A = this chain, B = another copy of it.
């Protein structure tokens, strides 16, 4: 319905290349050309359209995804049908339901595209093999998850020790790009407040200066 028009913007799969992902990797690890070949054989480029789901709550998460371009939201739908957004992800970030992926059990989270999104996907089996074949890659992934864990812990603290206005201010500082790309009611969901209260906060912040 709403996305019937999206076909117009569909990105052509055959035109996609892995360059952006390799450039990202090169910032952190140096691969030999054999390793690069090994890697390229085991990753899969994929395009999702706006509003499509990369992962759905209840399904087993089959991939870890690197975003080449686009934007996604990771959210949980509670028993009352309310969406709770855990994170947004954009270009050069990773997204998955890691809990579902590592245990290969049903996902708690949905990952949905907010824009047409180009990904590089790692399947469970291929990633396991790559860890053994390219230990540098396992090391990088360890570090990525370490950083994600640290960010998650800090967010717990922020949620406890800061009020909604402070959390919103920090959100804007930390994710300036995301703030303009996603609707306000999703930002409210990320902050754990209602869209009405976010509205109130924003008008307060404007009046304050």
A residues 67-125 near B (Cβ < 8 Å) are: 76, 78, 82, 84, 86, 98-99, 102, 108
Annotate A149-179 by CB proximity to B: 1 below 8 A, 0 otherwise: 1101111110111000000000000000000
Query: Given A139-B131, A159-B156, is A150 in contact with B86 using a C-beta cutoff of 8 Å?
Result: no
Q: Is the CB of B82 within 8 A of A154?
A: no
* Residues from chain B with Cβ under 8 Å of A7 in the complex: none
Docked CA distance A148–B155 (Å): 14
Docked CA distance A145–B142 (Å): 8
Q: Is the CB of B156 within 8 A of A98?
A: no
Q: Does A183 contact B (CB under 8 A)?
A: no
Q: Give this chain's copy count.
A: 2
* Residues from chain B with Cβ under 8 Å of A20 in the complex: none
Could you say which of B78, B82, B149 contacts A152, with CB atoms under 8 Å apart? B149
Query: Given A131-B139, A142-B145, is A98 in contact with B150 using a C-beta cutoff of 8 Å?
Result: yes
Interface footprint category on A: 20 to 34
Docked CA distance A149–B146 (Å): 8
Could you say which of B76, B82, B149 contacts A149, with CB atoms under 8 Å apart? B149
Query: Given A152-B153, A152-B156, is A143 in contact with B102 using a C-beta cutoff of 8 Å?
Result: yes
30 contacts between A and B (CB under 8 A): A76-B157, A76-B161, A78-B161, A82-B161, A84-B161, A86-B156, A86-B157, A98-B149, A98-B150, A98-B153, A99-B154, A102-B146, A102-B147, A102-B150, A108-B154, A108-B157, A131-B139, A138-B139, A138-B142, A145-B145, A145-B149, A148-B149, A149-B152, A152-B156, A155-B156, A156-B159, A159-B159, A159-B160, A159-B192, A160-B192
